[in-house]
Amino acid sequence: MTVRAQWSLAWKMARRELRAGLTGFRIFLACLAVGVAAIAGVGTISASVTGGLNADAKNLLGGDIDLRFHNHPNNEEQNRYLKANSNTLSKVMELRAMAAPVGGRNGAARGRSLVELKGVDEAYPLSGAMVLSPDLPLKSALGKLDDGSFGAVVDSNLLKRLVLSSGSSDAYNQAANGLPL
């Protein structure tokens, strides 16, 4: 028998043996396929999210660069540096707080929620535009109201959680007064 015929016979025998081998490996192969698909899926979603963030990073951030001071305000020297090295500067303050509707703090029927409270200046946002519902300019939504209090802009999901209806001045006032606890 020639060497080529020997290899051909060996391959033929191995292929016949694989009939049983593959049967036994079915579950293993299925697990492998699911595993690879899961890893590929996670990778695809991760790449998609990262790509989306990169594409909209400027609007999501509201500017080009975000500098943060933790637990203390920036001093005059830092202010001067930032003004000297920026075309436009916006000052924003953030803190974590617990929000509850006025008068509902102890009521079981009303919700309460941990929120991120953000105070912004007139320059905010440096990039993009804030779109509100109902359609109001951000400045007037945050401006001083007739009763002397200030307005607030709240995510509609938070209003639902706090059991307030969106758009009404009552709800608006309640949310505005209720947020800073």
Partner 1 sequence: MTEQSDTAIQLNNVELTLTSNAGEVNILRGIDLSINSGETVGVVGPSGSGKTSMLMVIAGLEKISGGDISIAGYGLNGMSEDELALFRQGHVGIVFQNFHLVPTMTALENAAMPLEFAGRVDAFERARVELEAVGLSHRIDHYPGQLSGGEQQRVALARAFAPEPAILLADEPTGNLDGDTGLKVMDLLFSLKERCNTTMMLVTHQPELAERCSRTIHMLDGKISNDG
Binding site for partner 1 (CB under 8 A): 1, 5, 9, 12, 16-20
Q: How far is the CB of 28 from partner 1 (least distance, A)?
A: 18
Distance (Å, whole) CA 49 – CA 32 = 26
What lies within 8 Å, CB to CB, of 109 at 6+ separation is 163
Q: How far is the CB of 17 from partner 1 (least distance, A)?
A: 6
Q: Which residues pair with residue 118 across a beta bridge?
A: 94
Distance (Å, whole) CA 7 – CA 15 = 12
C-beta closer to partner 1: residue 18 or 34: 18
C-beta closer to partner 1: residue 6 or 79: 6
C-beta closer to partner 1: residue 20 or 65: 20
Q: How far is the CB of 48 from partner 1 (least distance, A)?
A: 45
Q: How far is the CB of 57 from partner 1 (least distance, A)?
A: 58
What lies within 8 Å, CB to CB, of 91 at 6+ separation is 121, 123
